[in-house]
Chains A and B, each alone.
Chain A
Amino acid sequence: MAAGMGGIRTAGDLVAWMQMTRKMKIDTAKQYVADKLGIDIIDLTNEEVMRQIREDLGIGIITSVAGSAKGIAAKWKIAELLDIEINSVNFFRSKVR
């Protein structure tokens, strides 16, 4: 916890997706996500910045707001935002076509 990025509180999940799907080292993955979000790398772990960005983009927020994007709906948006394939999203899509 002391050195982690903070998951969906911030942008930890987004950076993790880039390591998993593109084998990116940490600095490259952070830069890629920061560029997609249009923010500086230091703000990837800034709750005050990421909370609003996550809500605006519909990519899931840490607090529970009825009707807000979470789970597979948020991951669908994340796949589009980061231009990556997420297997669970692909599987879900195949069921709703």
Chain B
Amino acid sequence: MQDHILTRMGDGQRVSLSRGQVKEDLWAGTRDAAQRAEIPELTADEIDHLFDIFSDPSRIVSVPPGQEVIVTDDAVCTLLYLDQDNSGQGIPLSRLQSVLTYERACAADTVSIGHSDYSFKQVKPIINFEKHEYHTASLMTTAPFFYGSQPNMGLYFRPDGPYPNPADLLPQGRIREAQEAQEEAAEHLRRDMVYISKSLYEVGCEGINFDTAASAGDADFYAALQAIRHLKKTYPAMAIEVGMSSEFVLGMHGEIQFDGKLLAGLYPHEQVKVAEAAGADIFGPAININSSESVAWNLARAVTFVKATVDAACIPVHPNVGMGVCGVPVFEVPPVDAVTRAAKALVQIGKADGL
């Protein structure tokens, strides 16, 4: 038995920790999640299971046959041709070639396409082009094919958009003006999301991914939820996945509600319930990484949040396991030992329906 376990910090740095230290970090991680969100800690058996995953000396770990899950993505195919800003490889491929490469060379369970400036506001002026690209690709793809984009309400504030910027108003104590600006921006964003999704539906869109929802706080999340509700009532044949931007909905507005539920401060096990009520088909929690703590600490924490979310959910839960969330270090080339341990733990202990 090895005295030490080779693992990593949350920033990707490789470290060798004693077995006792890894165990201690696992307990500290689960306690942190439990205390913050008022959810159950992992059990002693689950901590032992997590410890076994970390103490496996193999670089890559996996699940046994029969335990595999569905992998959805947020425009992974675009990474093939985009640049380092997007962790992209810069291969000179078209979007269509990238989608088909992801489907057939990477054997993805689902594929997706999106604008390289991955936000609804940026898509609106070129929606006819996007419809054309989506329709052409949908004739050639066999796996379920999403169109992905971010609500990204921050783009609706000055200097990028028409509304006063709450980041300027709040420090001046102009609380009500900041709230009104967010309410107006949220309504504008909702209209854009509905318009773009409807346009794509009209050419056969199979699914929309509202990715990185709530990045600008509670009003951003509100806009996404309202758009989902409208779209699922009007176009039930088009699936909607909603992926979150972080573990906690920031109260930039502070008082905005959906179906009487205050959105500010919601944790993933509560976020999934409002997403479900809006009509979402798949929910993707995003659990933050603390780069100063070990991957053991971070993953135990992420699994605790995800397990509570899956327990609460009536819809499939696909935790985000990209760079910097759900146990994956904040590093542009995510270490494969950490990524596969995150996947295995989220599936086996978190009981995720997908990733």
Q: Taking beta carbons and an 8 Å cutoff, which residues of A are in contact with B?
A: 1-10, 12-13, 15-17, 19-21, 23-26, 29, 41-42, 45-46, 59-60, 62, 70-72, 74-75, 78, 85-92
For residue B103, CB closer than 8 A to chain A, the reply is yes
Instruction: List 23 A-B residue pairs with CB atoms under 8 Å apart, sorted by A's residue number.
Output: A1-B107, A2-B61, A3-B343, A4-B68, A4-B108, A4-B109, A6-B109, A7-B103, A8-B104, A9-B107, A13-B143, A15-B109, A20-B110, A20-B281, A25-B316, A26-B70, A29-B70, A29-B316, A45-B68, A46-B65, A71-B141, A86-B206, A87-B237
Count: A-B pairs, CB below 8 Å: 157
Evaluate whether A3 and B355 lie within 8 angstroms (CB atoms) in the complex, with A87-B205, A88-B145 already known.
Answer: yes
B316 CB to nearest chain A CB (Å) = 4
Cβ contacts under 8 Å, A71 to chain B: 139-142
Separation of A70 and B103 alpha carbons in the complex (Å): 12
B289-316 toward A: CB 8 Å interface, digit per residue (1/0)? 0000000000000000000000000111
Chain B: CB-nearest residue to A93 = B204
Contact A12 B143 (CB under 8 A): yes
B326 CB to nearest chain A CB (Å) = 13
**Secondary structure of the B side of the interface?**
loop
Contact A1 B207 (CB under 8 A): no
Q: Taking beta carbons and an 8 Å cutoff, which residues of B are in contact with A?
A: 60-63, 65-72, 103-104, 106-110, 135, 138-145, 201, 203-207, 235, 237-239, 241, 281-282, 314-316, 339-340, 343-344, 347, 352-355
Chain A: CB-nearest residue to B341 = A2
Contact A2 B70 (CB under 8 A): no
Contact B107 A62 (CB under 8 A): yes
Contact B103 A91 (CB under 8 A): no
Cβ contacts under 8 Å, A41 to chain B: 66
Contact A23 B315 (CB under 8 A): yes
Separation of A95 and B70 alpha carbons in the complex (Å): 31
Contact B237 A6 (CB under 8 A): no
Q: A2-B340, A7-B110, A70-B142 are in contact. List 17 more A-B contacts (CB 8 A).
A: A2-B339, A3-B62, A4-B69, A4-B70, A5-B69, A7-B103, A7-B107, A7-B143, A8-B107, A12-B68, A17-B144, A25-B316, A26-B69, A26-B70, A42-B66, A45-B65, A75-B142
Contact B237 A5 (CB under 8 A): no
B252 CB to nearest chain A CB (Å) = 30
The 5 nearest A-B residue pairs measured at CB: A91-B204, A12-B109, A88-B204, A20-B239, A60-B142
